[in-house]
Amino acid sequence: MDNTMYLALSRQMTLRREMDIIANNIANADTTGFKVEKAMVRTDPADRARMVDGPRSLKFVIDDGIIRDFTQGALRRTGGAFDLAIEGQGFFKVETDAGERFTRDGRFTLGADGRLTTQAGDAVLGAGGQIVVNPEEGEVSISADGVVSQNGEQIGKIDVFAFDDLSSLAKDGDNLLRNTSNIDPQVSNAASVRQGMLEGSNVNPIMQITRMIEVSRAYESMVRTIEGSSELSRRSVERLGRVA
């Protein structure tokens, strides 16, 4: 295999990874609070595989991680008492079996014990810990600053947490994010909680489908490059054989 094939193969690998990310974006176009992702690539200089003449080094294309766009998604009204959306930057904190996690998905509900939980049953954490509601005490109101009240009395407060470095957040499944740094997030006073609303995904399906077509064509181009290089090598070997 010559240098052209090595370079084309490295690009094919990154294109395949990008296609997986785009497909995941499209699949989550209607997922509450989902943030669109994009593949990062970089060139990796390396010594040539085999060459008498030509450039001293080659630049292979390699996967360099994922960029996550935390731009706010559109807010839509649902009217649900425990449907919450964050207007501004920040995240809800929830307690899972694996530890504290963060999310923009505010589709909360009441558990059998009155705890405010996610759809997966993870407890939503407030300023004083878990939020416990007594359904018999009447309607629940949640103010813009996250104060949870029943019958005019405060029973808890849902804080919104902000990170100085959003790159420290890693996906953890179920629309949850894990803090990978040693720095704890701070309570945000700039974001607002909107009761009876949910934040939609910030995925633009048209742009993602367009990008999928571009990636598919680029992959096909690399296939043709490899096939062309292979054909040139085959012809060279045949000509050398005839000379011999």
pLDDT score of 78: 94
Task: Report the pLDDT value the prediction gives residue 2, as an integer from 0 to 100.
Answer: 65
Give average pLDDT by consecutive 10-residue segment, the chain, 244 residues. 73 89 95 92 62 59 82 94 94 94 95 91 89 88 93 91 92 91 90 96 96 93 82 73 63
> What is the structure's pLDDT at 45?
64
* Token pair listed for 2: 């010559």
Burial letters for 178-213: b for 16+ Cβ neighbours within 10 Å, e otherwise? bbeeeeebeebeebbbbbebbbbbbbeeeebeebbe
Does this model's pTM top 0.75? My answer is yes
Task: Quote the pLDDT of residue 111.
Answer: 87
Q: What is the pLDDT of residue 243?
A: 59
